[in-house]
Amino acid sequence: MAGMNVSEDPMAKRTYQVWKGNNRFFLGGRVIFGPDVRSLFITILLILVPIVIFCVFIARHLRHQFPTYNAGYAILVVAIVYTFYVLVLLLLTSAQDPGIVPRALHPPIDVQHEYSNPNNTSVGQTPRPPFPRTREVQLPSGVVVKVKYCDTCMVYRPPRCSHCSICNNCVQRFDHHCPWVGQCVGLRNYRYFFMFVASSTLLCIYVFAMSALYIKFLMDGEYHTVWRALRHSPASVILMIYCFIAVWFVGGLTVFHLYLISTNQTTYENFRYRADGRQNPYDQGCVRNFADIFCTSIPPSKNNFRQIVEQRTEELDVEAMPHPGSEEEVFKDIRAKIEGDLELGAALSKVSERGSEIDDSVYNRSSNGRDSYDASGHFPLEMPSSHRHSSWGRKSESYEISSDVFAASSESGRYKVAS
């Protein structure tokens, strides 16, 4: 019926049902995960199984070792409550929108013209110049960054935004895609991700320390040597070895992200580029950098996944259109992007071995004399003539902006498109 409300139409679909990304939705679109959500169950098991072993074989025997006020029960209670806290942080990281930039329904007019006329010629008309693939955006500090157009999402991305080839979404302040949480880490869930990693480190240290304490009590009792005590409690040996290995991984990540927070960098920026000893345009000082992560409100999601959407038959089918440039160039861009994400994932697995071997950011100046950086805001498109360096030889499609998305963002709204 013409007068029927859209919400009453049984054929109407919600946003999550027509979502073009690779995300997995549950509870009617109320919960959003990445495409590799199954790996989340592995992470949960890696947390729960050791804690169950600890509670059954170690904490249970420590209950009566501190008779004053039955303080030994606190060891068991702390382990259970703190594990629950770690799992909550894990779900807060993996089960929400990390900062996805909404896709446009249509590409810009200039893009539509280039799609419909890839040779850029018109009968009886002067050929139109190709649409601008980049724009300049001025940061609050006065620094001008260049951002690029995203062919997939049909928007100019905000600064520090990247398109995740795994989730197939543009994510604000993209840090990395973490397979252990099955989700991208970005503007809206980075705080929870760091707290999860840091809390997991403390949990490993706690279990290791209590297991060692139990071995000491065994040695003070019937088992007078370390070897006899270890043979009596193999669970303690297993847990101590497990926690020792795990703490190098999560502890290394904690130290690494403490460095990133203190210098206001992202993992993507740090691993994709190399430093040249110059100042970071986003660095506001250590205290303000930490305050931006932990003492500011998390911006609301730009996507209402449960919203009723109308299916518009007149929408432009961008996927069926040829992309600007040759097929070979498009293939090279896609391959470079996927290889870059895979390289980042491999590098993250070795971060605990790197320790604090971190690079700073590289600067450049634009031809008009203003301080200018490439799309990441850290790394140069062109260095000043007195300090000129060659490019690292990588294509970057990371930091691009849509003026609509840009103005609505709590972080990006502070910037403006440079004239």
Q: Which residues are catalytic?
A: 178
The pairing of strands 144-150 and 371-373 is parallel
Residues near 176 by beta carbon (within 8 Å), at least 6 away in sequence: 184, 185, 266, 267, 268, 344, 345, 348
Identify the residue whose tokens are 């909404």: 102
Residue in 77, 37, 36, 71 with CA at minimum distance from that of residue 55 = 77
**CA angle 130–21–26, rounded 5-degree value:** 160
Q: Which of 14, 8, 46 is nearest to 32 (CA)?
A: 14
Q: Maximum Cα–Cα distance for the chain, whole Å?
A: 100
Determine the Cα–Cα distance for residues 191 and 195; give it in Å rounded to an integer.
6
CA 214 from centre of chain: 39
Q: Which of 384, 394, 418 is nearest to 132 (CA)?
A: 418
Residue 28: how many CB atoms within 10 A of its CB? 11
* CA angle (276, 354, 245) in 5-degree steps: 165
Q: Cα-Cα-Cα-Cα dihedral of 43, 44, 49, 54, to 10°? A: 100
What distance in Å separates the CA atoms of residue 162 and residue 268, rounded to the nearest whole number? 9
d(CA 387, CA 103): 39
Q: Is 220 exposed, middle or buried (0-12, 13-18, 19+ CB in 10 A)?
A: exposed
Rg (CA), the chain: 26
Query: Going by DSSP bridges, is the β-strand pair 364-365/371-373 parallel, antiparallel, or unpaired?
Result: antiparallel
